[in-house]
């Protein structure tokens, strides 16, 4: 689904991506992990076209997406921080996003699932962080797309909403969707990810299953396995 070849990106004198090579196959859940400054956010934003790399290429379904825009219509993206217009109501925001995307929206069931009916007429600026995240999730999953990118999707969610999110992610996987997730919650990764992509200093340091990573590092849990990778490089 995604082929990344020789991706380089500098911000000033700081090299954030250093000849990064990565293949992501179609279908499945891939956790993009790494410490702060590892390059994972720049990688995600490069795939989305929000950052233009200095060198290299990104292909989705065999076609280069650099300096293109139409391909984004087939990506669902959940940002880590949703900067919603504070003066809009939830209902108005959903309607606006529907008008912006050339796809059929399926929002009603998601609104019910996350118990947002009573918030539809409330202004976004008056909502709690957890409720905003539920709105964020509705906006992300109300369209059908082959590629789904979730940046820290569990932020602010209560236990019931977290269960619903996991159910949705598994459902999308069963449809054959490709799902990229960035998160710092290793228990979430162990439970949901088929494969881990670990970045360090702008390069792919490990790619494989959590079981393979634990075997490689001799650790019993993913959190310590990741810490072991970082410690060995420092």
Domains of the chain by range and CATH?
2-233 (3.40.50.300)
pLDDT value for 52: 94
pLDDT value for 199: 94
Does the structure show a pLDDT above 80 at 112? Answer: yes
Does the structure show a pLDDT above 70 at 107? Answer: yes
**Residues 6 or more apart from 223 whose CB is under 8 A from it?**
186, 187
pLDDT value for 233: 63
pLDDT value for 151: 94
pLDDT value for 14: 93
Q: What percent of the chain has pLDDT over 70?
A: 99
Does the structure show a pLDDT above 90 at 28? Answer: yes
CB 16 within 8 A of CB 9: yes
How many other CB atoms are there within 10 angstroms of residue 12's CB atom? 5
Does the structure show a pLDDT above 80 at 47? Answer: yes
CB 20 within 8 A of CB 7: yes
Does the structure show a pLDDT above 90 at 101? Answer: no
Model pTM?
Answer: 0.94
Residue 5's pLDDT band (boundaries 50, 70, 90)?
very high
DSSP state string for 63-128: EE-TT--GGGGGEEEE-SS----TTSBHHHHHHHHHHHSSS----HHHHHHTT-GGGTTSBGGGS-
pLDDT in tens, 190-218: 999 999 999 998 899 999 999 999 999 99
Does the structure show a pLDDT above 90 at 67? Answer: no
């Amino acid at each position: 689904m995604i082929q990344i070849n020789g991706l380089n990106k500098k911000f000033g004198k700081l090299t954030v991506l250093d000849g990064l090579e990565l293949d992501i196959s179609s279908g499945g859940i891939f956790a993009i992990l790494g410490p702060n400054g590892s390059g994972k956010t720049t990688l995600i934003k490069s795939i989305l076209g929000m950052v233009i790399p200095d060198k290299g290429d990104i292909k989705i379904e065999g076609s280069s997406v650099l300096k293109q825009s139409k391909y984004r219509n087939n990506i669902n993206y959940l940002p880590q921080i949703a900067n919603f217009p504070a003066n809009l109501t939830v209902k108005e925001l959903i309607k606006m996003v529907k008008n912006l995307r050339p796809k059929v929206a399926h929002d009603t069931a998601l609104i019910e699932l996350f118990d947002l009916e009573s918030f539809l007429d409330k202004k976004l600026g008056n909502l709690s962080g957890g409720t905003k995240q539920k709105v964020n999730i509705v906006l992300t999953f109300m369209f059908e797309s082959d590629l789904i990118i979730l940046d820290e999707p569990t932020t602010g969610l209560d236990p019931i909403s977290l269960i619903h999110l996991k159910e949705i992610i598994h459902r999308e996987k069963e449809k054959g969707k490709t799902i990229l997730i960035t998160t710092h919650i290793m228990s979430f990764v162990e439970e949901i990810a088929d494969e881990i992509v670990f970045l360090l200093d702008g390069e792919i340091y490990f790619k494989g299953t959590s079981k393979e990573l634990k075997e490689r590092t001799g650790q019993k849990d993913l959190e310590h396995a990741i810490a072991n990778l970082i410690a060995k490089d420092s």
